[in-house]
Structure 1
Amino acid sequence: MQKTEVSGNIIGAPSSLKKVKRIPPAISYPTVTLIIILAIWELCGRLKLIDPFMFSWPSSIMMKAWEFTLTGEVFKHLAVSAIEVGLGFAMALIGIPIGLMMGYWKKLELAFDPFVTALYTTPMIALTPLFVLWFGLETLSKVMMVFALSIFPILINTMSGVKMTDPSLIKAARSYGASEFQMFKEVIFPSAIPLMITGIRLAIGRALIAVVVAEMLAGNIGIGFAIRHASELFQTAEYLAYVVVLMVLSVLLTELLKVLEKKLAPWRHR
């Protein structure tokens, strides 16, 4: 008994010390990789291995980003681009109910799937001048570009999510007398959520591409216009600083969607 108590005291002694929390590998590994890449990139810039007229390096890019953040210039452009992306993306969410219906009713899929595929594979960016001709030079043309590029990843992934629903779950629901509405609410929709979120994540990238290209070609304000303006003046550091802003925003939006997915489909992460 004495030995047990002594060993218990020894084992229990460190419990008063604070446990150091280890950083998860999902955070530590990419962080270390990013630091190494930035250090090598910065060193190349400092050693004059990079022509500032053609490219730039991290410290110069960050200085430019800090400058237009202090002046508030970036927020003016971001506000306009955010409105255009927000409106177009909200419209593109109509792809969720359409995808649910096309995935559930085979005849509807047979009737419209070839057209969805054709439009999805069409290089919409090449149609930007046509969108400007139809909807003008103001906000509407950018909103419609965002909508056109965003809707199809959402629709197609939602449809795939419905088709991947476990047939045994559908049979069980039918055997218990579930109505069509209950089938969608309790079985089809929850099953499609993971792929639906994947479609939304893909659509975010396409939405940012759409708004930048539309603003570059036909805009006098917005992130796309700011990038075009800086590139025309050969201000490479400023040009890349705006690109970095877009990259950070896309990463933040993607991470928020991951959190949303964990809330809506917790079973996928168990």
Structure 2
Amino acid sequence: MMKAEAAGSLPKTNTEVVQKKPRRMKYGWMKGLLLPVVIIAIWQIIGGLGVVSATVLPTPVTIVLTFKELVFSGELFGHLQISIYRAALGFLLGAGLGLIIGILAGFSKRTELYLDPSLQMLRTVPHLAVTPLFILWFGFDEVSKILLIALGAFFPVYINTFNGIRGVDAKLFEVARVLEFKWHQQISKVILPASLPNILLGIRLSLGIAWLGLVVAELMGSSSGVGYMIMDARQFSQTNKVFAGIIIFAVVGKLTDSFVRLLERKLLKWRNSYEG
């Protein structure tokens, strides 16, 4: 009798869990807005009371008005278009090479021994250290900026692709050998699907570093772009314009990261992992 009651109560409990989870996930994104809203409210109150000078810390309302002015004047879209072009081209170049070399080094021990030590040494060199060299070699042209972005975008994809391949279960390779897969079939049907979570993580990290590289490139010797707009505003003590540029970088960076996370959920929906 007790067993029958327990068996009858289990489906009801499971149904409640299944029903509650989508509702929690549906409105969960709103919790992420709580902290920014609180910070903006406190910021506005402090600025409105005159506790901090408007030159040092302009209020959110002032920044919004500045942003509106930049939009209607067309200045924002001109600079943003150039910045997105540089970041996208540098990211595609760096992440593409990182993916290819990561696959080669992960798939072949010999390739790893030839390439990985030099790449790991180069990885430890900061962006700011190589920027003067890039300027000397390529000048202040677009090439130096794009290559600087590509350099930063290369390593996250390379390292995560390499680690993803080396983390593939060896039994899968044994199955591939039994099925007489050729090397390109092993890559497309065994290695890439199994290492896809690591590769997508590398792409997310690479996008973030690409935006950091863009800021460095545009702050040092540029006549266009959002970074240049920030530096130009700094020279004239236009702090509100500086904040507007910083917020633009943050918003665009968040949008690109959200796109990759959406892609990650679509491609990895087969994965049954803990989500909190």
Q: Which TM-score tier does this pair reach, normalised by the shorter chain?
A: 0.7 to 0.9
Do 1:262 and 1:269's aligned partners in 2 also have CA atoms closer than 8 Å?
A: no
Q: Unpaired segments of 5 or more residues in structure 1?
A: 1-20
Please, which moves more after superposition, 30-39 or 152-161?
Answer: 30-39
Q: Secondary structure at the match of 2:168?
A: coil
Whichever residue aligns with residue 203 of structure 2, its letter is I
The aligned residue for residue 44 of structure 1 is 46
1:105-254 → structure 2 map (5 Å cutoff): 105-254=108-257
- 1:137-158 CA-to-partner distances (Å, cap 9, x unmatched) read 1211111111111111111111
The aligned residue for residue 99 of structure 2 is 96
CA distance in 2, matches of 1:49, 1:210: 35
Do 1:161 and 1:195's aligned partners in 2 also have CA atoms closer than 8 Å?
A: yes
4+ aligned runs moved over 6 Å, structure 1: none
Do 2:168 and 2:195's aligned partners in 1 also have CA atoms closer than 8 Å?
A: yes
CA distance in 2, matches of 1:158, 1:82: 25
Deviation at 1:127, TM superposition (A): 1.6
Deviation at 1:25, TM superposition (A): 4.9
1:259-270 → structure 2 map (5 Å cutoff): 259-268=262-271
Deviation at 1:266, TM superposition (A): 2.2
Q: Secondary structure at the match of 2:220?
A: helix
Deviation at 1:228, TM superposition (A): 0.4
Deviation at 1:45, TM superposition (A): 1.2
- 1:3-44 CA-to-partner distances (Å, cap 9, x unmatched) read xxxxxxxxxxxxxxxxxx667353021112221121112111
Alignment counterpart, residue 37 of structure 2, candidates 35, 38, 41 = 35
The aligned residue for residue 68 of structure 1 is 70
TM-score where L is the length of structure 2: 0.86
Q: Secondary structure at the match of 1:268?
A: coil
Deviation at 1:252, TM superposition (A): 0.3
Whichever residue aligns with residue 34 of structure 2, its letter is V
Root-mean-square deviation (CA, aligned residues, Å) is 1.6
CA distance in 1, matches of 2:174, 2:210: 38
Do 1:161 and 1:196's aligned partners in 2 also have CA atoms closer than 8 Å?
A: yes
CA distance in 2, matches of 1:205, 1:224: 15
Deviation at 1:237, TM superposition (A): 0.9
Assess, with a 3 A threshold, how the Cα gap between structure 1 residues 269 and 53 changes in structure 2: closer, same or farther. Answer: farther
Do 1:96 and 1:154's aligned partners in 2 also have CA atoms closer than 8 Å?
A: yes
The aligned residue for residue 86 of structure 2 is 84
Deviation at 1:187, TM superposition (A): 0.8
Deviation at 1:56, TM superposition (A): 2.3
Q: Secondary structure at the match of 2:181?
A: coil
Q: Unpaired segments of 5 or more residues in structure 2?
A: 1-22
TM-score where L is the length of structure 1: 0.88
Deviation at 1:126, TM superposition (A): 2.2
What percent identity do the matched residue pairs reach? 33
CA distance in 2, matches of 1:249, 1:189: 29
Whichever residue aligns with residue 52 of structure 1, its letter is A
Deviation at 1:256, TM superposition (A): 0.5
Do 2:47 and 2:57's aligned partners in 1 also have CA atoms closer than 8 Å?
A: no
Deviation at 1:189, TM superposition (A): 0.6
Whichever residue aligns with residue 162 of structure 1, its letter is I
CA distance in 2, matches of 1:231, 1:127: 24
Matched positions, count = 250
CA distance in 2, matches of 1:26, 1:109: 43
CA distance in 1, matches of 2:196, 2:132: 35
Deviation at 1:108, TM superposition (A): 1.4
CA distance in 2, matches of 1:225, 1:269: 45
